């Protein structure tokens, strides 16, 4: 790992979400691509947040997975399903955008960062996925703890 930098290990083909993307659409991408998080970018490809699997869980006394709930309601055939679908609570979930549930305080790193510094960031901030940006703060890659493990 001597002299390696983030640019040497980062994933350059990054799946990203837009702030106006639907929560359900992004949940499907995460599941299909078997990834746990993705950066959220604005129209200029600037990182404005991150959305992770854990963002899809409601924690207000009820633990349930939003995409699973939406699919259940959409596929329900029982007679009360239409009333549930029309409820304000269900509509709020169906219409939820990435900006409603993302983490907007997103830590980013430059591709010139040394791996030893990256390790310290993962450890001290308890992060698993970090977007990589260029000098203009545009998204150019992503690095995960799994990328570090591959080096070992």
Domains of the chain in start order, with CATH, are 6-151 (3.10.580.10)
Say if residue 87's pLDDT is above 80: no
Identify the pLDDT of residue 60. 46
Q: Kindly give, in sequence order, each residue whose CB lies less than 8 Å from that of residue 51, ignoring residues fewer than 6 positions away.
A: 17, 26, 37, 38, 40, 98, 101, 102, 103
pTM over 0.75: yes
pLDDT digit string (tens) for 3-22? 899 999 999 999 999 999 99
- Helix (H) / strand (E) element for 8: namely helix 6-9
């Amino acid at each position: 790992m001597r002299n390696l930098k983030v640019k040497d290990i980062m994933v350059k083909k990054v799946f990203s979400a837009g702030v106006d993307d639907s929560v359900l659409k992004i949940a499907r991408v995460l599941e299909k691509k078997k990834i746990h998080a993705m950066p959220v970018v604005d129209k200029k490809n600037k990182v404005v947040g991150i959305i992770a699997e854990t963002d899809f869980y409601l924690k207000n006394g009820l633990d349930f997975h939003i995409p699973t709930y939406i699919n259940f309601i959409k596929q329900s055939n029982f007679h009360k399903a239409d009333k549930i679908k029309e409820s304000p609570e269900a509509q709020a979930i169906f219409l939820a955008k990435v900006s409603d549930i993302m983490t907007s305080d997103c830590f980013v790193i430059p591709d010139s960062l040394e791996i030893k510094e990256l390790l310290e960031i993962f450890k001290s901030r308890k992060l698993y996925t970090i977007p990589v940006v260029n000098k203009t703060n545009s998204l150019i890659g992503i690095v995960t703890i799994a990328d570090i493990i591959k080096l070992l």
